[in-house]
Structure 1
Amino acid sequence: MLYDAAFLARLEAGLAQALPLWGLAPDTRLDLLTISENATFRATGTGLGDLVLRVHRPGYHTRTEIASELAWIAALRADGVVTTPRPIPLADGGLIADIEDGGATRQVVAFEFFPGAAPDEGAGLDAWFRALGAVHARLHEHARRWRRPAGFARKVWNFDSTLGAAPLWGDYRAGLGLDEKGRALLERAAGVLQARLAPLEAPGNFGLIHADLRLANLLVEEGRLALIDFDDCGFSWFLYDFAAAISFIEHEPYVPALRAAWLEGYRAVAPLAAEAEGQLDLFVMLRRILLTAWIASHAETPTARAMGLPYTQGTLALADAFLGRHG
């Protein structure tokens, strides 16, 4: 496993040695917050307020891609588009630190700590999804008008990079527990998606998005909704953001209500064509199959372990129903 206990202990020790780069004492308390694509730690008692330190998974993002993410966050904050934590600069004014880990170099970024918790799953999510729809609309409007700095680079989330020839999160055919029949079912669904999504990859539909505003990346505190973790932001269909928002709960019976609330919130800020409603189904299926691949390729993470084989089985049920509607 990449993120086993021994590895995390070594990672924390290396991070502690790097704390002076932010002007922090090496004995600053560090607590592991999450393990997903990256390992994220909370630093307390810093004198700068609590900080969140994100240690990047090696081989995923380039330094330029990380800098580009931070540039968009800075622009969103400067333009008052959304509430999201501020990246904390190093003592030398930079934003990205390098730490050595077993001969490899890993990048680290610090953010201010925001209090709060993810919204609870269930029927009470409607109000938050209405707010999230408005947030997505503001993000998309900003992405359309923002003049990106020279050298800006983020990953492209299209069919080829999700379910196609160059998948960033692994081959969905390697999903946990998939047999020949299951792979054939998902291949049929992927074929439909490829054909239906190709015409939608046009400038009006496709641009810079957060791409991962699922519940775990929303922080609610006294009525405030804050966004975190732009680590997967990149170029994709704007409507893919809704599919990302219902990650891991795509099968729940309350999702249609969340969809209606999200559409209402979005349209309160920006126009959305009537045909967009039917297209959401495509992106939800794309994301569900993509996450099935992610679970298999990131089996060491707590999320993947929690989802396990039942998630694959749920994906097959959703794919079968999807083909009944679109196949």
Structure 2
Amino acid sequence: MANTPHPFETLTPQRVVESIESLGLWLPGEPFALNSYENRVYSVTDDDRRRWVAKFYRPGRWSDAQILEEHAFLAELAEADVSAGSVWADANGRTLHEVDGFRFSLFAHVSGQAPELDNPEHLFALGALIGRIHAVARSRAFDQRPVFDIPSMVEESRERVVGARWLDARQRQAYERTLDALAPLMQARAWPASALQRVHGDCHLGNMLGRDDRFALVDFDDCAMAPAIQDLWMLLTAQTPEEWQMQLSEVIEGYEESIEFDRRELEWIETLRTLRLIRHTAWLTARWDDPAFPRAFPYVAESAYWDQHIRTLEQQRFALDDSRWLV
């Protein structure tokens, strides 16, 4: 019996166009697929030369309530004049649409390039942007979005990875042993519930666009309840104490134009880094039925990848015990 095709395999360019045009827009050209794996995202231009980003949500990932909570957050940011890729609403105020089982939304196109994290002006501007976002974010909490909880996130990732078909017995044993050692170290450097707030959740370079020192943060698909430092630590990429302190100083100075930053949160950076490493590999294994993943990440099916992943996690045991330039 033939395998059931993944839903995204049926999302043809024609289907994308027809879905968007069902909202009353006309697209004279073809959609251009953007670099996205979790969802399917396209750049489109309507007959008024307005540029849009159409996001087709991965079936079964988020509930309607979770997606609409993301959109409500974006509406708050737009009201506060914060650059965050606003979502389009139809005449009835709907931001989430559905055609043939595909849920999708349209977002205002944001132009520009990724920032340079060795540029102090860019770091200051990014800190200022995230500070403005967090000033709005702290006004209320998410009810539907995920919460950064170490035990549940680590256990979910463990279940996905140990069930993957690529690990041999030795690797599976080593992986579980490493997670058993990491979990208490992570918990010892965990955040209290009082530190949780609404965050973007995935502040990597691909989600920051702009020119000069004016940037926007886009794609709030991973927004969650987490400590504020979750949206800042990936900006700190330096490999020496002096450069790291420079980056931190610029980011925090920009951030505190809008809101105070609790520097005690710096102690959670390695915990969050470890959590991201664990969850990223679990995500790759969980999405392997999507044909885009074997094409983009073929190395996941190789034994060497798993040996390296386990070594990287083992190294995080030492990083969790090291303050890493925090003073």
Q: 1:267 to 1:304 in 2, by over 3 A?
A: farther
> Are 2:250 and 1:256 equivalent residues in the alignment?
no
**Letter aligned with residue 171 of structure 1:** R
**Letter aligned with residue 187 of structure 2:** Q
Distance 1:307 1:215 in 2: 23
Q: 1:280 to 1:320 in 2, by over 3 A?
A: closer
In the other structure, the counterpart of 2:89 is 89
Distance 2:178 2:141 in 1: 42
Query: How do 1:172-211 and structure 2 match up within 5 A?
Result: 173=162, 178-197=171-190, 200-203=191-194, 205-211=195-201
> Are 2:188 and 1:214 equivalent residues in the alignment?
no
In the other structure, the counterpart of 1:305 is 297
Deviations 1:178-208 (A, max 9, x none): 54224322331122112431xx2322x1111
In the other structure, the counterpart of 1:56 is 57
Distance 1:119 1:239 in 2: 19
How far did residue 19 of structure 1 move? 2.1
In structure 2, list runs of 5 or more residues that go unmatched: none
Deviations 1:59-107 (A, max 9, x none): 1111111111111101111012x2122212235542111022xxxx221
How far did residue 275 of structure 1 move? 2.5
Distance 1:27 1:87 in 2: 22
How far did residue 118 of structure 1 move? 1.8
In the other structure, the counterpart of 1:233 is 223
Give the alignment partner of residue 295 of structure 1, picking from 284, 288, 307: 284
In the other structure, the counterpart of 1:284 is 273
- Is the Cα–Cα contact under 8 Å of residues 124 and 252 in structure 2 kept in the other structure? yes
How far did residue 27 of structure 1 move? 5.4
Q: 1:302 to 1:74 in 2, by over 3 A?
A: farther
In the other structure, the counterpart of 1:140 is 134
> Are 2:118 and 1:130 equivalent residues in the alignment?
no
**Letter aligned with residue 198 of structure 2:** L
In the other structure, the counterpart of 1:116 is 112
How far did residue 21 of structure 1 move? 2.5
Distance 2:285 2:253 in 1: 35
- Is the Cα–Cα contact under 8 Å of residues 84 and 217 in structure 2 kept in the other structure? yes
TM-score where L is the length of structure 1: 0.79
In structure 1, list runs of 5 or more residues that go unmatched: none
Q: 1:2 to 1:77 in 2, by over 3 A?
A: farther
How far did residue 279 of structure 1 move? 2.6
In the other structure, the counterpart of 2:319 is 322
In the other structure, the counterpart of 1:99 is 99
Q: Residue 220 of structure 2: SS of its match in structure 1?
A: coil
Deviations 1:257-284 (A, max 9, x none): 5445433433444333342222323222
Once the two structures are aligned, what percentage of the paired residues are identical? Answer: 22
How far did residue 15 of structure 1 move? 1.9
Q: 1:139 to 1:286 in 2, by over 3 A?
A: same
- Is the Cα–Cα contact under 8 Å of residues 134 and 265 in structure 1 kept in the other structure? yes
In the other structure, the counterpart of 1:69 is 70
**Letter aligned with residue 256 of structure 1:** W
**Letter aligned with residue 145 of structure 2:** R
How far did residue 319 of structure 1 move? 1.5
- Is the Cα–Cα contact under 8 Å of residues 132 and 258 in structure 2 kept in the other structure? yes
Distance 2:5 2:208 in 1: 24
Distance 1:145 1:40 in 2: 30
How far did residue 172 of structure 1 move? 5.1
**Letter aligned with residue 108 of structure 2:** E
**Letter aligned with residue 140 of structure 1:** H
Structure whose CA Rg is larger:
2
Distance 1:46 1:193 in 2: 52
Deviations 1:221-244 (A, max 9, x none): 24320110011112122222234x
Distance 2:104 2:285 in 1: 26
Deviations 1:2-28 (A, max 9, x none): 998x94563433222212232123654
How far did residue 146 of structure 1 move? 4.2
Deviations 1:19-72 (A, max 9, x none): 223212365421101222111011124325011100000111111111111111
